[in-house]
Structure 1
Amino acid sequence: MTKGFIYAVSISPKRGQLKKEVPEAKLIENYGIENDGHAGDWGRQVTCLNLASVQKINKEHHLKIGPGDFAENVLIEGMDFSALTIGSKIRLGKSAVLEVTQVGKEDHPSIVSRTYGVSILPSEGLFCKVISGGIIKKGDVVEKI
């Protein structure tokens, strides 16, 4: 399915930290999420994960990992990430648009793997840059465009 919903939005002030859920966030064009440590002039401004993947890891590893605990910015429910490749664009809410710049990343000992013993960003994370800014919040529609 090329459509889903924002389950949670999370940020952290610095890189290398677990993120905390926030009620809403401001996406800034060519920068990232306001007040998030991963914002800047690069291709991994915003990180998205699929809620189903988090639920699967929780079940398999008997964990209770919640929003932001895998260091993701946007946790998305109900969307099939397999339809998204580098260059795909997704709209979040009314006006924000992200472009997928990378699927997965190099695996290294991170705060997530040191804390929980498992990480899914290296295999399933969508790394994106902000093409068009806007305010996003839990419940907003997410769709491939």
Structure 2
Amino acid sequence: MAHSKYALLIRLADDRQQAAGERMKQAQGRLNDARSRPEQLDAFRAEYQQRLTQGGMKGMSISQWQDFQKFLLRLNDAVTVQQGEVERCIQRFMLEQQSWQNEYKKLKAYEKLLKREQQRASIKTARLQQKNSDEFATRQFWNRQHQDE
């Protein structure tokens, strides 16, 4: 392929698209991690709630019961915070996905421009070859016609 004015643009656009894809992949990983944490906290909270119930049946002091309640409130707060983190990660992923899509569109646009440039060059070359062939045929015909004279 002959060096095109679009080659550098395509290479840069491809690099940007690859980088955007990597950022999107990382954002997806963070989102997946963030989504698993509230589930883990919920499971831990349920387990701790069960311990409180079992401890209450066996008998526990008021201070122990209050400590359990305080800890459960902290777990509830942690779940709420983590759900906010999930929302933040969703937003970040969506931004990175949009960025990747934009870079992909730019890359495809440059590739389309390159293809058009190549098609124009191909047509120009074909026309030049046809012109040269026509001139050669005309000269051959002219020479044959005037050789007899």
Question: Structure 1-normalised TM-score?
Answer: 0.17
- When Rg is computed on C-alpha atoms for both structures, the one with the higher figure is 2
Give the TM-score of the pair, scaled to structure 2.
Answer: 0.16
Which is helix-richer, 1 or 2? 2
If asked which structure has higher relative contact order (CA below 8 Å, sep 6+), I would say: 2
Structure 1 or 2: larger strand share?
Answer: 1
